Amino acid sequence: MVLTMLALFSIVLAGGLTGPAKVISTDTLEINRTRVRLWGIDAPDETQMCRDIKGNPYQCGLRAARDLESFVEDREVSCVPVLEDECGRTIATCSAGGTDIGEWLVRNGLVLDWKQYSRGRYYAAQRAADRAGLGLWAGSFAVPWLYRACIRLGGRPASCSDDANAHP
């Protein structure tokens, strides 16, 4: 624990968590060769299929990653480490142009507030996206944690994304 905190503190002192960001996935960025997992959110996987307002399937994880790329493009991203996960990734809150990236993703309906970690920090943004029918909330989707559990149990992306697992 102490070593983890020292490692995170040294990253901050070195200015290693500010700069241009490369989007690895919707919930993971790379800044100055440091992988950063966005704190408090859960994103659809790139293989996950969702349905739009007309019921047409689309790769919601891929679409969210592209939207995030557009959002951070040509902006300096700053991250504040919160902790390090079991994979050695830095978990952090990050902002671009003064906007909390996690909140922006949730408010636009691209990801979900992962309240067991965020302690509800993005709950209001998620309710606003749901009420406005933005992003995922415009159609139907399987919540990311259930999609991943289905895949771990041997399910295929199409069946794990299907309407039986979907949020209306």
pLDDT digit string (tens) for the chain, length 168 residues? 444 444 444 444 444 699 999 999 999 999 999 999 999 999 999 999 999 999 999 999 999 999 999 999 999 999 999 999 888 889 999 999 999 999 999 999 999 999 988 999 999 999 999 999 999 999 999 999 999 999 999 998 888 886 655 665
Q: % helix / strand / coil in the chain, to the nearest 5? A: 40, 30, 30
Retrieve residue 52's tokens: 């739009």
Question: What does the alpha-carbon distance between residue 17 and residue 106 come to, in Å, rounded to a whole number?
Answer: 22
Retrieve residue 40's tokens: 């408090």
CA torsion, ordered 64, 67, 68, 72, to nearest 10 deg: 180
Question: What does the alpha-carbon distance between residue 53 and residue 51 come to, in Å, rounded to a whole number?
Answer: 7
Question: Which domains, ranges and CATH numbers included, belong to the chain?
Answer: 2-45+60-138 (2.40.50.90)
